[in-house]
Amino acid sequence: MDDSAWVGQHVLVVGASRGIGAALVDALLARGAAHVWAASRTGAGLDDDRVTRLTLDATDEASLQAAVVRIRQTTQLLGAVIHTPGLLQNDAIRPERRMQDITLDALRASFAVNAFAPILTAKHLLPLLWHGERAVFASLSARVGSIGDNQLGGWYSYRAAKAAQNQLIHTAAIEAARKSKALICCTLHPGTVDTGLSKPFQAGVKAEKLFSPERAAHQLLDVLAGLKPADSGGFFAWDGQRVVW
């Protein structure tokens, strides 16, 4: 594990109440981060000297603006923003097996969380990373968002929303490079992680390829630590390999 990239850093984790997001908070602290802003819709948890809990809904621009104001009150600059939330299914929607299963409500819900929230987060938080030093904006995507890797079909809403997320962050990376050459924007595929999102779909996953949130968090931090500005705009898997668009 490469701890040096995170020592002394101030980092915002969006979606920090559970799963990979919560594990990232713990992993960052273990690697020497100076302070972690742990943002979630509920803002649940206790603050301490190194962790500040934020109530944040990344689909709501007013909420994002309020979070930026709160961060700027104590921390002018960030070393990284890591956006983790994703939506595959809920009580109202399920991954589609065929076109006849597609609904407008499912498309809207998937795009709101998987595509719109990451780019709105980038819109409001990237200015805190434009300081000339190495910084990272990362958003968790999924390999099923790869158009070139799609051999099975199905899962229309989720696939399309994740593909849109990749395009939006790739486009943001191009603009961000004009503000700071040292800023890296990317999307990440964390692998299959033992969380509520993947729980109904784990039956065919080999044990060695089903990662705990803790393992996934450290693997992702290793990938981010190894990226260079020339990698900005890329889509990377948990093992550091590029994922085809």
Q: What is the CATH number of the domain that holds 216?
A: 3.40.50.720
Q: In this structure, is residue 195 part of a structural domain?
A: yes
140 forms bridges with which residues in the sheet?
Answer: 188
| Sequence-separated contacts (24+) of 60-67 with Cβ below 8 Å | 61/120, 61/123, 61/124, 64/120, 64/121, 64/123, 64/124, 64/125, 65/124, 67/37, 67/39, 67/124, 67/125
Q: In this structure, is residue 37 part of a structural domain?
A: yes
Q: In this structure, is residue 44 part of a structural domain?
A: yes
Q: In this structure, is residue 71 part of a structural domain?
A: yes
Q: In this structure, is residue 135 part of a structural domain?
A: yes
For residues 222 and 240, what is the distance between their CA atoms, to the nearest angstrom?
Answer: 8
Q: In this structure, is residue 242 part of a structural domain?
A: no
Q: Determine the residue type at 137.
A: F
Please name the residues in contact with 210: beta carbons below 8 A apart, sequence gap of 6 or more. Answer: 192, 193, 194, 202
Q: Which domain holds residue 17?
A: 4-237
Q: In this structure, is residue 98 part of a structural domain?
A: yes
Predicted pLDDT at 47 = 83
Q: How many domains does the chain have?
A: 1
Predicted pLDDT at 76 = 78
Q: In this structure, is residue 216 part of a structural domain?
A: yes
DSSP state of 190: -
Q: Name the maximum alpha-carbon separation found in the chain.
A: 52
**pTM of the complete model:** 0.94
How would you write the pLDDT of the chain (245 residues) with one tens digit per residue?
556 889 999 999 999 999 999 999 999 999 999 999 999 998 877 788 999 999 999 999 999 999 999 999 988 789 999 999 999 988 888 999 999 999 999 999 999 999 999 999 999 999 999 999 999 999 999 999 999 999 899 999 999 999 999 999 999 999 999 999 999 999 999 998 877 666 666 556 666 678 999 999 999 999 999 999 999 999 999 999 999 99
